[in-house]
Structure 1
Amino acid sequence: MNPNLERILSEASRVAQGAIQQAMAAASQRHEGGGGAPMLQLLAAAPKNPANPANAMNSLNNPAFQNSMAEATRLMRSGNLQAATAAIQAALGGAALPASVDDDLNIIDVEAHEVGRAAPAPQKPAQTVKPGPSGQFISGSHTEGAAGTREYKLYIPPASFAEPLPLVVMLHGCTQNPDDFAAGTKMNEAALQRGFYVLYPAQTQHANSSRCWNWFKHNHQKRGRGEPALLAGMTRDVMSRYNIDPQRVYVAGLSAGGAMAAILGDAYPDLFAAVGVHSGLPTGSATNVQTALGVMQTGAAPGARTAASPPTIVFHGDKDATVNPANGEHVVAASAGASRPEQKRARSPNGRDYTQRIYKQADGRVVAEHWAVHGAGHAWSGGSAQGSYTDGAGPDASEEMLRFFLANTLPAKH
């Protein structure tokens, strides 16, 4: 028997005995070359009641089982670990190999591939983060009718800032939470120094088993519907409670959070003055799990620019094996339109090279920036190893996004 298949079959028996997390971690680690990178979060796809170990061992000699496991091996080698998990599920349950990943998997932003010198990420998101010597980091929740309820964390800067201040909404990636995302992006520290509020909405496992924002579902992509409506409502609620400047409200996110940030910018250009998308995808690039997996692997078609599209800054590692870097190009294209870029290549103080492209309108106004971070994977550039999915060697995405954001304001409402 093929040695790789032998190892997979051995791990499948462990799955049958209730060890799916360790088994899939080992399979993912082999796929990555054993470099100690964070493993794929696959428990949502695991059987809720593991198969009887004896039955599972007897099934090892079943030709259909062996075919399914061989297909799982192929899928793992190709990097499609979600489909590999579905294949193992089907084999252990005695079902036929599914033709496609079921829509209930909801693991479409796996946050698994760290490339090059990306900082090692903790297996579990950080549970606490200190906002600094001043200011507060508080918890809250918001309900938006049928769209549901979500909790959030809010950084409130020191009381010494008397004037209305900007607000930055930060949308975490899959498997992350607000504390973890705040630690990794260092956004609270920047808020303390510059003086602005930071809102971190929290996705729930009930809404998505891996806590991904549902950017890939058609009912979560439009104004007034689903998660965009809930997040916009949460933002307005926080604005009504604190001394926030309505002309300087911004949204940014990582991966699934970046994709949802792009959606919010397009759906609510009257609320968000600018958008930051890190390792994300363009609005409307997928409408279900199957199309999401496709565009993550190959890149989506360019999004359509509207007259109201807000200025957008994009960061993307050019070695991202989770979300194809072409998606970042397409996010920029949706905001830049026909603008021709100015381009420069440089090296960040922490070591990574990057290429920055700046898109300006005829009047000189910057409408988009694209930062391709060379050698970086699926991780927040310039982030702290205190949070997950960060690459400390890259240019500081948080600082560059803030610079871009604060150069853009909405017109005053009369």
Structure 2
Amino acid sequence: MRNISDTIARLSAMRSRPVGSGQGRDDHLADMTGFGSNPGALRARFYLPKNLPKEAPLIVVLHGCTQTAAGYNDGSGWSELAAEQGFSVLFPEQQRANNANLCFNWFVSGDISRDSGEALSIRQMIEAAVVTHGLDRKRIFITGLSAGGAMAAAMLAAYPEVFAGGAIIAGLAYGSASTIPEAFDRMRGHGGPSRAELQRLLRAASPHKGPWPRISIWQGTADTTVVPANADALLAQWHGVHSLGDRPTRTEKVDGQTRKVWSDGKGRDVVETYTIARMGHGTPLKTSGEDGLGRAAPFMLDIGISSTRHIAGFWELTKPEVRRKAKAEAAAGAALQPFAQKEKPRAVRVDPTPQPSKARGSAGGITKIIEDALRAAGLMR
């Protein structure tokens, strides 16, 4: 275990890092308020494309340390892809009062356990978004980078019945640390639960017995912040619930990088890993070309492969013909162009001041629907 002086030094180094991408750029996310008791005291940001299809999917995106929701969105291009392919995106955002480095508290038991702390806040956001906008409960997914990736792993463990899939980028296995010194040790690949214990922790995190979410794991081979051993731990943790063998079903090259895939007994791809050669700590991007998304920034690394687009593809949310149509309409000036809007996006307020009208679509009616749904799900008293 690291001594306290080493821990303090590492925390100081993290504070000195630049804030994530998008600082000073236009913020294209709306605020989402009144989504529940919010015990984790998180902020909720939301992106809702124009002309969203009925029962559209929902992607939950968790930023890394020192980053903001808007910054991570600007770098990763999730809302850009949402406008292109027709889904909504929820961005929980950490507050400095909770963590000085804006890290989600993935190593604090009270914040990663089912129905408590930050985990419950995110779950309440999801429920409010689904009820308010009529989203598809069978197509809810979650992804994150670094501490956000570790928190995504925690959400997948605590609420596996909520998610159809998850993607963890440079993250850590659920339950691998319970203190700050342990967190730094695990990040560096020191110690940690055994394979059997990791699998036990995942199964014990909720009463769920299956089916389990599909998992995508991304890791750079040159990452010295969250070393590759953590990707191995994540893979071992999820192998258990999916009853997979150590040997992948297939190994292939995608955009020059190594992808391994494990399929279940029905031939469905349920776990994949991407090993990005010579990449350090961050989210892999491809920002140029027909399929380019996002922009490079600290911890947002333009290395020629778009994790955003490939993750959405693994979740079966992207259709190439939709992208071609969007490109053609853009050339004709008729496409959805959310980033060209000059006006600020409207706030997505699910708990506004009640209005006199009792019509189904009134603000008061929406508030009651949200609260009733949260109580029915056991997410609010």
Q: Please report how far the alpha carbon of residue 124 of structure 1 lies from its aligned counterpart in structure 2 after TM superposition.
A: 5.6
Counterpart AA for 1:388: P
How many Å apart are 1:218 and its aligned residue? 1.7
Matched, 1:388 2:298: yes
Q: Residue 230 of structure 1: which of 121, 138, 163 is its match?
A: 121
1:325 to 228, 231, 247: 228
Q: TM-score, normalised on structure 2?
A: 0.70
Mapping of 1:87-236 within 5 angstroms?
A: 98=4, 101=7, 107=11, 110=14, 125-127=21-23, 137-142=29-34, 144-145=36-37, 147-159=39-51, 161-236=52-127
Percentage of matched positions with identical amino acids: 26
Indicate if the aligned counterparts of 1:165 and 1:244 stay in contact, CA closer than 8 A: yes
State the distance in 1 between where 2:279 and 2:16 align: 13
**Does the CA contact (< 8 Å) of 1:279 and 1:317 recur in 2?**
yes
Residue from 357, 360, 368 that aligns with 2:271: 368
| Alignment partner, residue 213 of structure 2 | 310
Distance between the aligned counterparts of 2:85 and 2:304, measured in 1?
A: 22
CA distance in 1, matches of 2:231, 2:34: 31
Q: Deviations over 1:42-61 (max 9, x none)?
A: xxxxxxxxxxxxxxxxxxxx
Q: Which segments of 5 or more consecutive residues in structure 1 lack a partner in the other structure?
A: 1-79, 84-96, 114-121, 409-414
**Map of 2:182 onto structure 1:** 291
Root-mean-square deviation over aligned CA pairs: 2.9
Bigger CA radius of gyration: 1
Q: What secondary structure sits across from 2:7 in the alignment?
A: coil
Q: Counterpart of 1:406 in 2: which secondary structure?
A: coil
- The aligned length equals 295
Mapped partners of 2:57, 2:105: distance in 1 = 26
**How far 1:224 sits from its partner (Å)?**
0.6
- CA distance 1:144–1:288, shift in 2 (3 Å): farther
SS at structure 2 position matched to 1:233: helix
Instruction: Give the CA deviation at 1:406.
Output: 2.9
**Bigger RCO (CA 8 Å, 6+ sep):** 2
- 2:144–2:169 CA contact under 8 A, matched in 1: yes
1:358 equivalent in structure 2? 261
8 Å contact from structure 1 (residues 106, 209) kept in 2: no
The question of 1:402 aligning with 2:305 is answered no
Any unmatched runs of 5+ in structure 2? 204-208, 287-293, 319-381
Instruction: Give the partner amino acid of 1:264.
Output: M
CA–CA distance in 2 between the matches of 1:100 and 1:374?
Answer: 29
Question: Aligned AA for 2:283?
Answer: W
Alignment-mate amino acid for residue 7 of structure 2: V
SS in 2 for 1:357: strand
Higher mean displacement: 359-368 or 278-287: 359-368
Q: CA deviation at 1:387?
A: 4.1
1:146 Cα deviation from its structure 2 partner: 6.7
User: Structure 1 residues 191, 272: closer, same or farther in 2, change over 3 A?
Assistant: same
Runs of 4+ in structure 1 deviating by more than 6 angstroms, as ranges, are none
Note if contact 2:59-2:141 (Cα within 8 Å) is conserved in structure 1. Answer: yes
Distance 1:297 1:252 in 2: 22
